[in-house]
Amino acid sequence: MKVRSPLLAVIIVAVFVSGIGLSMAFNLWRTEASKEPARYESGEFAGEYNPADIRGSYTFGDIEDTFGVPAQVLGKAFALGPDKAPAAYQVKELEESYGELPDGGEIGTDSVRLFTALYLGLPYTAEETTRLPAPALDLLKEKLAPADIDSLRGITAEPQDLVPAAPEEAVPENTEESAAAGEVKGNTTFGELLEWGLTREQIEGVLGIPMGPRTVTVRDYVKEQGLEFSVYRTALQELLNTQ
């Protein structure tokens, strides 16, 4: 018996839709964009979300929403830099941040699965190459027995390469200690040189240019003229020492 094309199309669509409906009814249908992880199907934790289903596309915020582990805790555990927002940070970014560790291990999606399971007291078997950063172990000390912490030390990696080095604090040019009388430093003003006994003619003779205002430091003034302060500091100091 021949089935007309329009009727065949209707039958195919009906079968497809009913198949999806049955899959959803039995919790088997999942779309790629779904952020609801699978649940344990049996045992003590049946019905609870299973960390094994955490995917690289999840953000720490998604994990907080589903598993209840705060995004800030995850950020500390995986040593996110100060420029990273934990809630928006995707799990898959960890592998790029850490790269391959010296022992061949890696800190990535499976590390987040393991940490989440340990933090919540849920069962999970990690891959052999999975590692945890040291801050994660520190946070787990409040959750696990000392013996369990000791067993995790063998898969703990230091995260120095992930945490951006703190920028060196800029030292203001004029923060040096007040110079002793007659000692030329970066914060020495022209007024102080005059008070210590030098004359305007002597100062200008060393600098080779007119002296600056009394309240201006010698260093700032010569730098504005494109000159090297250290050269003139030495000459002025030698002149003061002869007074």
Q: Where are the domains of the chain?
A: 39-157, 190-241
In this structure, what DSSP letter does residue 86 have?
Answer: G
> Which pLDDT does position 224 carry in this prediction?
82
Cβ within 8 Å of residue 222, ≥6 positions away: 207, 228, 229, 232
User: What's the average model confidence in pLDDT over 23-52?
Assistant: 75
Contact yes or no for 67/116 (Cβ under 8 A): yes
pLDDT greater at residue 4 or residue 158: 158
- What values do phi and psi take at 194, rounded to 5? -65, -40
pLDDT at residue 77 above 70?
A: yes
For residue 220, the one-letter residue type is D
With a cut of 80, say whether residue 227 has pLDDT above it. Answer: no
CA 234 vs CA 61, 75, 183, 201, 220: distances in Å? 60, 52, 10, 17, 16
pLDDT confidence of residue 159: 52
pLDDT of residue 220: 85
Q: What is the pLDDT of residues 175-184, one digit of tens each?
A: 444 445 678 8
Q: How far apart are CA 161 and CA 81, in angstroms?
A: 11
pLDDT at residue 29 greater than cutoff 50:
no
Instruction: Kindly report, residue by residue over 105-156, the tens digit of the pLDDT.
Output: 889 999 999 999 999 999 999 999 899 999 999 999 999 999 999 999 999 9
> What's the pLDDT at 95?
84
Q: How far apart are the first and last CA of the chain?
A: 123
Residue 144 CB burial class (10 angstroms; 0-12, 13-18, ≥19) = middle
| pLDDT score of 26 | 47
CB 120 within 8 A of CB 145: no
Is residue 191 over pLDDT 60? Answer: yes
* Cβ-Cβ contacts under 8 Å for 119 (sequence gap 6 or more): 69, 73, 139, 140, 143
Between 94 and 35, the higher pLDDT residue: 94
pLDDT at position 78, please? 93
